[in-house]
């Protein structure tokens, strides 16, 4: 029976190694994505609310959110394993619950940033559309004014001649 317990422990440890490696890989990926977004957004300094900056930020946030969702899924799976192996109220399960809460919190913050960025994009698109309509009205008014001025000039030249 002792040999079977040794094998069980070894399998459990190998599972922990795989989990820790996967978690480390996701952590590294998140660091790369977060620093990449900061570097990219720094290129838009002074133009943070431009369409290009907001679109770039949206793409970066989506990648970050997907990596965070992967992390949440990985920790949740490990939590289920720990509860089955050590018990629902074990130290291992509690530590994983804490890690899961933190990962979910980070993911929720990113989701909030995505929503705020989408709102800013929508507002910018609306403002751009309104500006285009205003520009079209101004162009039409200028054309009409040009026609009136030409007519007045022609009438003035005819009356003088």
Q: What is the DSSP string of 33-51?
A: HHHHHHHHHHTTTT-TTSH
In angstroms, the CA 52 to CA 110 distance is 19
pLDDT of residue 135: 66
What Cα–Cα distance (Å) separates residue 17 from each residue in 12, 42, 72, 148?
9, 37, 17, 82
In angstroms, the CA 7 to CA 48 distance is 56
Mean pLDDT confidence for 42-50? 91
pLDDT of residue 142: 75
pLDDT in tens, 11-20: 344 488 999 9
Give SS3 for 161: coil
146 — pLDDT class (breaks 50, 70, 90): confident
In angstroms, the CA 47 to CA 67 distance is 27
Predicted structure pTM score? 0.71
pLDDT in tens, 52-103: 999 999 999 999 999 999 999 999 999 999 999 999 999 999 999 999 999 9
């Amino acid at each position: 029976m002792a040999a079977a317990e040794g094998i069980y422990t070894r399998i459990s440890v190998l599972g922990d190694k795989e989990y820790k490696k996967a978690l480390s890989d996701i952590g590294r990926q998140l660091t790369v994505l977060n620093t990449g977004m900061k570097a990219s957004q720094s290129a838009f300094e002074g133009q943070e609310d431009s369409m290009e900056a907001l679109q770039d930020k949206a793409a970066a946030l989506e990648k970050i959110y997907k990596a965070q969702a992967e992390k949440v899924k990985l920790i949740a799976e490990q939590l289920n394993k720990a509860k089955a192996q050590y018990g629902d109220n074990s130290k291992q399960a509690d530590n994983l619950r804490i890690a899961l809460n933190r990962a979910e919190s980070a993911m929720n913050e990113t989701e909030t940033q995505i929503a705020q960025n989408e709102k800013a994009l929508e507002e910018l698109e609306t403002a751009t559309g309104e500006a285009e309509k205003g520009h079209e009205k101004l162009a039409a008014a200028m054309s009409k004014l040009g026609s009136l001025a030409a007519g007045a000039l022609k009438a003035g030249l005819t009356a003088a001649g």
